[in-house]
Structure 1
Amino acid sequence: MAQDLTALAVAVVGVAGTMTAPWLAQRARRSELRSEAERADRTRRQEYEANEFERRRERYAVLNEQARTYRTAMLDVAHALRRGETVPPQEWEALAEARTAFRAEYAQAQMVLPEPTLDIVSEVNRGLSHGYRLLRLAEAASGSRAEAGAAVSWLERPLSDGVWLLRRALREDLGVADATADLPGRTAQLRTARRGQAAVFPALPQVRDES
């Protein structure tokens, strides 16, 4: 009797194993496919994030370069005017090209920069525009050395800090630089300096690139 029961139990287990084996195999396969899909999804997300970071890094690098080039072109013209020299046409052309290039990059950056970083970059844009208006004023005053001196002073001091602020803000947004606690405060100082100097020169020509 015991032998019969044992044989029956073995038979039942064998049948159950035979019946459940396909189900277990199917379940294991589904788990394997799910794991593969999750790994593929993680890989896609990582690749997307890496590509997005690279695109942002390239855009930020160009924006930083264009801001520096724009300021340098203005400074070349300002120094020439302060010396009482006639600015060669090619220097005005270089300034116009630098200004156009920066404005194009800034317009693109406005679409992707987070709000805190955009606030800093926008103020630097206004600071660059202010420098350009000072040059226009000096030009309109027949190369007045006083106005040209004001332009040089602005470009060499507050705006130099402004370009540094732009670079620092972009690096922090990329996560390649530690946070600088005084960035908002230094941006406010740049804004105050710009408004203070603009009040001294109320007749500055209007230039539509302060957005």
Structure 2
Amino acid sequence: MIVAIVGVVGTLASAVITQVLAQRAEAQRSEREKLVRLAELQASEDQRKIDQLRSCYVQLNAQDRRYRDAMLAYAYALRSGSVGAEAEAEEVNVARRAQRDTRAEAQLVGSDAVLRIESRVNAQLTVAYRRLMNAADQPSSEARQTELNQVIKLLDAIIAQQGHVQALMRLEVGATQALPDWYNPEVGPPEHYQASA
């Protein structure tokens, strides 16, 4: 009788233990699948944010360059006395508005580090714009030519600042793993342009 009871209890216990182990294995499998799904969702969200940031940075970089190039073309047109200067002036206005709109978007999604050094580029573009418009309002003279030459130098100097912004942007979007040796987060506008602004 005892042997029969032990046999029946063993058989029943075996079934219960098997079921408990199966449920535990299923719960672990379900938990692993849940973790994988969460990781995939997080990776997808991270990629979406990187893509958004990349798109924003591409636009910001392109619009800063377009604005700079438009001002440079206008300065050269004024300096040479070109009859097409009005078209260049209109392109400056179009590029300025596009750059302003792009900066507004960047201020919502860009990192503080990129915005900090890009704001230096923007400050120099603003100084160049003011000086260019001032020169455009002057009658053709030696003083005007000197002012236009200074504007051209100022616009040329912005290229180095833009390089620093681009280097940081590339790092943030994963296009590179490290900043270049020449990168300097404190790069700023040349002092003689700041003083004369």
Asked whether the two chains share a fold, i.e. TM above 0.5, the reply is yes
User: Matched residue pairs, number?
Assistant: 192
Partner of 1:31: 28
Shift in Å, 1:16: 0.3
The alignment yields a C-alpha RMSD, in angstroms, of 2.0
Q: Deviations over 1:110-160 (max 9, x none)?
A: 12222222110111110111111111110121242111111111112x112
Q: C-alpha deviations, 1:53-78, integer Å up to 9, x for none? A: 11111111111111111111000000
The 8 Å contact of residues 120 and 169 in structure 1, kept in 2 or not, is answered as: no
Alignment TM-score, normalising by the size of structure 1: 0.82
- Alpha-carbon separation, structure 2, partners of 1:16 and 1:193: 89
Instruction: State the one-letter code of the partner of 1:121.
Output: E
SS of the residue aligned with 1:184?
A: coil
Instruction: Check whether the contact 1:77–1:87 (CA below 8 A) recurs between aligned residues.
Output: no
CA contact (8 A) 1:81 1:87 kept: no
1:183 equivalent to 2:184? Answer yes
Runs of 5+ consecutive residues of structure 2 not aligned to the other structure:
none
Give 1:1-211 correspondences, 5 Å limit: 8-143=5-140, 144-156=144-156, 158-177=157-176, 178-180=178-180, 182-185=183-186, 187-188=187-188, 190=189, 192-198=191-197
Give the conservation status (yes or no) of the 8 Å contact 2:164–2:184. Answer: yes
State the match for 1:202 in structure 2. none
Contact 1:83/1:145, CA 8 A, preserved across alignment:
no
Contact 2:53 2:110 in 1 (8 A): no
What residue identity is the alignment partner of 2:90? Answer: E
Deviation at 1:84, TM superposition (A): 3.1
Partners in 1 of 2:166 and 2:12 — Cα distance? Answer: 73
What amino acid is aligned across from residue 115 of structure 2 in structure 1?
L
Secondary structure of the residue that 1:85 maps to in structure 2? Answer: coil
CA–CA separation in structure 2 for the residues paired with 1:120 and 1:139: 29
Consecutive unaligned residues of structure 1, counting only runs of 5 or more, are: 199-211
Give the drift of 1:179.
Answer: 1.7
SS at match of 1:33: helix
User: CA separation in 2, counterparts of 1:70 and 1:29?
Assistant: 61
Identity of aligned residues (%): 27
When residues 101 and 113 of structure 1 are mapped into structure 2, their CA distance, relative to the original with a 3 A threshold, is: same
SS, match of residue 110 in structure 1? helix
Q: CA deviation at 1:191?
A: 5.6
Q: Is the 8 A contact 1:123 1:191 kept in 2?
A: no
Report the CA distance between 1:27 and its aligned residue: 2.0
> Counterpart of 1:183 in 2: which secondary structure?
coil
Which moves more between the two structures, 47-56 or 176-185?
Answer: 176-185
SS at match of 1:127: helix
